[in-house]
Structure 1
Amino acid sequence: MMDDQTHHLIAAIHNKPQQIVVAVAGAGSQAVADLLAVAGASRTVLEAIIPYSEAAFDNFLRYKPQKYVAEDTAVALAGRALFRARCLAPHTPVLGLACTATIRTDYHKRGHHHAHIAVWQPSTLIVSNLHLEKGARSRQEEERLISNLMLNSLAQATSLPDRLPLSITQNDNLTTEEISFIHYSQQLSNQELAYFGIATNGRILTTPPAGILSGSFNPLHQGHIQLAQAASDYLGSPVAFECTAVNADKPPLSSETLLNRMAQFAGRWPIYASSAPTFLEKARLYPGIPFVVGYDTAVRILQPRFYENSPPGLHAALREIQAHGNNFLVAGRQGADGAFHQMDDLHIPPPFTTLFQPLPANLFRMD
């Protein structure tokens, strides 16, 4: 039977605006049962997923993790849960809650008993790692402790002050870390930061990626993902996405809007944000890396009207981009005329032909 303290905390969670998708494997199912047992669960829980077998786990993540019970895997689960929540409730504050664990069972386990819990929402990521003293508790006691920690993580993510007691002993080890994405987006907005990135494991990136595919990603669609994958395969190194907070022709994005767009990539792809609206400015931020662009973007890059209608201005910009060691990897596309246009159709000034290279059509073609 649920105690009053747990009931009170869950009722408070149900009164918060956030809606959630929960994914648990190995332990944490009691937290799901508790959330559903308190009236008002339909205001909070969009979906609960238990990918218990390896096949189900891999299917939910869309890849096979190096370790099933690990911090990065819990974060990836939370990222996928957030993505799922955004699909189910696109106009509502959402978060992904995940747990992956290995606990006491009906045979002797050689490894440790531990759990990793993550809550991913556009503004923050909360990660808890719990290592339990082996043999000190029953399976039910380990499950209860882990589920309480999940509920506490959910309370922290929704800014509730109350917490459930955790029966942690000196032989257990619990660590919790909160990563504030909004802190970095505000620094970017205040021009205290030139750029930042969020890795697939939720960690903040402050060094350039191996390649960049820039866009507004409003919304992210399958063509973006397929282009990034094709470019990564061609280059032999992973391409990251970049969302520009400042656009030359539009008002700057608010921190909330920027983080919501970046949240589309949670746990799936690295995503950067910068205040560099032009490729010349991007070359200054990310020297030496390729920029992945579509044919239409490549056409605009080569138009003097974007350089104060000055061909010398265009040449000066391309010359500086070249000096920074950057280049453009151009993906072809079918035009309104029905023809497939690719790099050979571009009017590239002779000094800069090596600045552009084609992404082979057999790797990517979006008609």
Structure 2
Amino acid sequence: METDVKNLLKQVYQTDTKAVITAAGGGASAIAWIQSIPGSSRTFLKGAVPYHPDTLKASLGFEPDQSVSEEVALVLAERSYKEASTLTKSDPKSIGIGCTATLATDRQKRGEHRCHIAIMTARNAEVHTLILAKNLRDRSEEEAIVSRLVIKTLAEGAGLDTRLNLLIDDGERLATKTLKPIRGWDQFVNSDDLSLTISSEGNTLPGIPPAKGILSGSFNPLHEGHIGMANMGEQILSGDVAYELPIINADKPTLTELQVRLRISQFAGWATVILTKTPTFSEKATILPQCTFIVGVDTASRIVEPRFYGGTQEGLNKALSEFQEQGCHFLVAGRKDGSNFITLSDVNIPDSAQDLFEQIPEEQFRSDLSSTQIRRDGSG
């Protein structure tokens, strides 16, 4: 441990900060550094190192598509913050830090060497992303840089003005996102309200904005395919298309506030997002009547699967009838499947519901991007 790190930690211990730190894949040296200096117990509550994929899954509460991501770091920080708050009986100086990294190892990695380090406090949340040059350092040198960033993050969370040198080269990139609390979030999640609209400026808007089309998605991440679908929807419908992010999903874990903060940050400055607690399209139709939902062909296929409606054909038929009663329709974009292009013609749609679905012609819109593939392509 370098002298500048040691001196900075001594300053941190003079504050009232109480911290829980979780480091996965890198940054664990920071925990050892913290413990090696007398007085650390005044600040350091707990450190966890979920290194194996199974222990990371247990720490997160779900299995991520990509273990090294901003979102994973934020969830680790959020869980660390909640534990710190519990241990300190909600001391406002409690902070949680989450780090996830993929660093040099004994094989050549496909993806970038990088880390994501997030911090959550009573006031705010931030996530730092550091991309390291490949083949420039060995594992221990990369680990030292990531650990220095963990210490720098801790010091800034303690309110210190630190300029700790990360010892990175000019070509290496450090980016920071600040994720402000969502106004009205607590009321939204703890009430019977089914929607919360967030403007492009981050303000809460009353009701649901008028729109002819709705593009629903997890937006993890938002990509050009989503935007292209929305734009095509506006052309076909001759009206606005709004983005909808369900925090509850039919077959995925419920999103935490920090996950939602990160995802809606992608729309900052240019688009409004509707947060909902409607996991199925039959539920969405009740709060978004007279709307056309713009979906991919895989989603269209799930919409007509009985398993989402009690597992019975009767339940499916009832849901399809409710779509018709609510005046809702579906614009469907196809997708690539190997050498084929899958469209509505490949989906078993009941004859009584054929008028609910309309195919977007391939020549008008096609995107082979996939959020899942984008996440997986970031793996090391």
Measured against the shorter chain, the TM-score band is: 0.5 to 0.7
For 2:39, the aligned partner's letter is G
Contact 2:23 2:50 in 1 (8 A): yes
1:148 aligns with 2:148: yes
- Distance of aligned partners of 1:32 and 1:133 in 2 relative to their CA distance in 1, 3 Å threshold: same
Contact 2:183 2:204 in 1 (8 A): no
Per the alignment, in what secondary structure is the counterpart of residue 115 of structure 2?
strand
Per the alignment, in what secondary structure is the counterpart of residue 58 of structure 1?
helix
Per the alignment, in what secondary structure is the counterpart of residue 163 of structure 1?
coil
Per the alignment, in what secondary structure is the counterpart of residue 20 of structure 2?
strand
- Distance of aligned partners of 1:151 and 1:183 in 2 relative to their CA distance in 1, 3 Å threshold: farther
CA distance in 1, matches of 2:275, 2:102: 44
Contact 2:18 2:95 in 1 (8 A): yes
CA distance in 1, matches of 2:25, 2:172: 18
**Aligned position for 2:79:** 80
TM (norm. structure 1) is 0.53
| Structure 1: gaps spanning 5 or more residues | 212-228, 241-264, 272-285, 293-321, 326-367
For 1:79, the aligned partner's letter is E
1:109 aligns with 2:134: no
CA distance in 1, matches of 2:274, 2:178: 31
Q: CA deviation at 1:87?
A: 2.3
| Structure 2: gaps spanning 5 or more residues | 186-197, 207-217, 221-241, 263-272, 280-285, 290-380
Regions of 4+ moved over 3 Å = 180-185, 192-196, 206-211, 236-240, 265-271, 286-292, 322-325
Contact 1:210 1:290 in 2 (8 A): yes
CA distance in 1, matches of 2:37, 2:278: 51
CA distance in 2, matches of 1:290, 1:103: 38
1:125 aligns with 2:125: yes
CA distance in 1, matches of 2:257, 2:88: 16
For 1:88, the aligned partner's letter is L
Q: Please provide the CA RMSD for this pair.
A: 4.0
How many residue pairs end up in the alignment? 230
CA distance in 1, matches of 2:50, 2:125: 22
For 1:18, the aligned partner's letter is T
**Aligned position for 1:30:** 29
**Aligned position for 2:66:** 67
For 1:55, the aligned partner's letter is D
TM (norm. structure 2) is 0.51
CA distance in 1, matches of 2:134, 2:275: 50
Q: CA deviation at 1:195?
A: 5.7
Q: CA deviation at 1:147?
A: 0.7
**Aligned position for 2:167:** 167
1:243-283 CA-partner distances (Å, limit 9, x unpaired): xxxxxxxxxxxxxxxxxxxxxx5547789xxxxxxxxxxxx
- Distance of aligned partners of 1:166 and 1:176 in 2 relative to their CA distance in 1, 3 Å threshold: same
**Aligned position for 2:139:** 139
Per the alignment, in what secondary structure is the counterpart of residue 92 of structure 1?
coil
**Aligned position for 1:13:** 12
Q: CA deviation at 1:109?
A: 2.2
1:63-112 CA-partner distances (Å, limit 9, x unpaired): 00110011111111111111222222223231111111011122222322
CA distance in 2, matches of 1:107, 1:162: 35
Percentage of pairs with the same residue:
28
Q: CA deviation at 1:155?
A: 1.6
Q: CA deviation at 1:208?
A: 7.2
CA distance in 2, matches of 1:270, 1:287: 13
For 1:9, the aligned partner's letter is L
Contact 2:29 2:144 in 1 (8 A): yes
Q: CA deviation at 1:61?
A: 0.5
Per the alignment, in what secondary structure is the counterpart of residue 181 of structure 1?
coil
**Aligned position for 2:90:** 91
Q: CA deviation at 1:136?
A: 0.4
- Distance of aligned partners of 1:207 and 1:82 in 2 relative to their CA distance in 1, 3 Å threshold: farther
CA distance in 2, matches of 1:57, 1:184: 31
- Distance of aligned partners of 1:95 and 1:136 in 2 relative to their CA distance in 1, 3 Å threshold: same
Q: CA deviation at 1:62?
A: 0.5
- Distance of aligned partners of 1:184 and 1:5 in 2 relative to their CA distance in 1, 3 Å threshold: farther
- Distance of aligned partners of 1:266 and 1:31 in 2 relative to their CA distance in 1, 3 Å threshold: farther
